[in-house]
Amino acid sequence: MPRRNWNRFVSRYKILSKTVRGNIIVLVAPSGAGKTTLANKLLEDFENIRFSVSATTRSIRNNEVHGKDYYFLSEDEFQEKIEAGEFLEWEEFYNGIRYGTLKSDVEKMRDNGYYVLLDIEVLGAVNIKKIYGQQALTIFIKPPSLEVLEKRLTDRGTESEQTLKTRLDRAKKELSYENRFDKVVINDDLNHAYSKLKTMISGFMNKN
Ligand code: ADP
Ligand code: 5GP
């Protein structure tokens, strides 16, 4: 059997047999570095990866869907989940806007044999690594420069002047976290970055 088909066979066997718990893959980066773009490509290519949908108190963007991109919650709903211990981790990102990873969703997907993909900011990723250790692969997605990051965020067209500035200020700090993670991928040319990312993830899957 060709190797690609064999890998598919093995991953399907793991999912269907539910004998192996899936591990965690974290994409972490300053806002605008390309996590969402890369995550979507991974989800298209790897049938054994599922996306962990986070909860957030930020408002929904035009192209987003509740339950697919995020669970969009009110302040009170988010606070109730904190108090009920439903988050693996949560962080305030800017201006009181909070984001959190839901424990039950992640564990359910792992129980079903899937690798779980998280797209989260640096502090949350550090916490996930503390919780899961070797069972988590944390990959820092680095923009080629701050100028490119600014251009990507501006061109994405999702930010006001104020939120763009806040995100860029935060990005400057987040870039100094690079060496806290297992791997780094520079997202210059998208195809090149994606190919490196795929190789890292395949290596992690073969070890775990
Ligand atoms: P993040 O999820 O990290 O905030 P996105 O995936 O939304 O970032 O990417 C930010 C913007 O940059 C998007 O408009 C996306 O299409 C674009 N983008 C992502 N990667 C690249 C790349 N390698 N080259 C050029 N543009 C990119
Ligand atoms: P955005 O508003 O651009 O969708 O996300 C802002 C930042 O919050 C991004 O860096 C994103 O990765 C991060 N984020 C999304 N979900 C979570 C989460 O569950 N926990 C943490 N800590 N950060 C998150």
Domain assignment present for 42: yes
Question: Counting atoms of ligand 2 from 1, which one is nearest the CA of 35?
Answer: 12
Percent of the chain with pLDDT over 70: 90
Total-model pTM: 0.90
Domain assignment present for 5: no
Q: For the chain, how many structural domains are there in total?
A: 1
Domain assignment present for 172: yes
Domain assignment present for 191: yes
* Residue 168: per-residue pLDDT: 93
Question: What sign has the CA pseudo-torsion 185, 191, 194, 195?
Answer: negative
- Rounded average pLDDT over 56-74: 96
Percent of the chain with pLDDT over 90: 83
Give the CATH number for residue 65: 3.40.50.300
* Chain centroid to CA 34: 10
Within the chain, what is the greatest distance between any pair of CA atoms?
55
Domain assignment present for 15: no
| Residue 133 confidence class, pLDDT cut points 50, 70, 90 | very high
* Residue 31: per-residue pLDDT: 87
* Residue 22: per-residue pLDDT: 87
Pocket flag, ligand 2, residue 32 (CB < 6 Å): no
Domain assignment present for 12: no
Provide the domain limits for residue 49. Answer: 20-207
Asked whether residue 110 carries a pLDDT value surpassing 70, the answer given is yes
Residue 93 or residue 16, greater confidence = 93
* Residue 19: per-residue pLDDT: 57
Question: Counting atoms of ligand 1 from 1, which one is nearest the CA of 27?
Answer: 3
Give pLDDT tens digits for 153-172.
999 998 899 999 999 999 99
Residues composing the chain: 208
Tokens of 102: 């839901």
Domain assignment present for 14: no
Domain assignment present for 1: no
Ligand 1 neighbours (beta carbon < 6 A): 29, 31-37, 152, 155-156, 187, 190, 193
Question: Strands 97-102, 87-94: parallel, antiparallel or unpaired by DSSP?
Answer: antiparallel
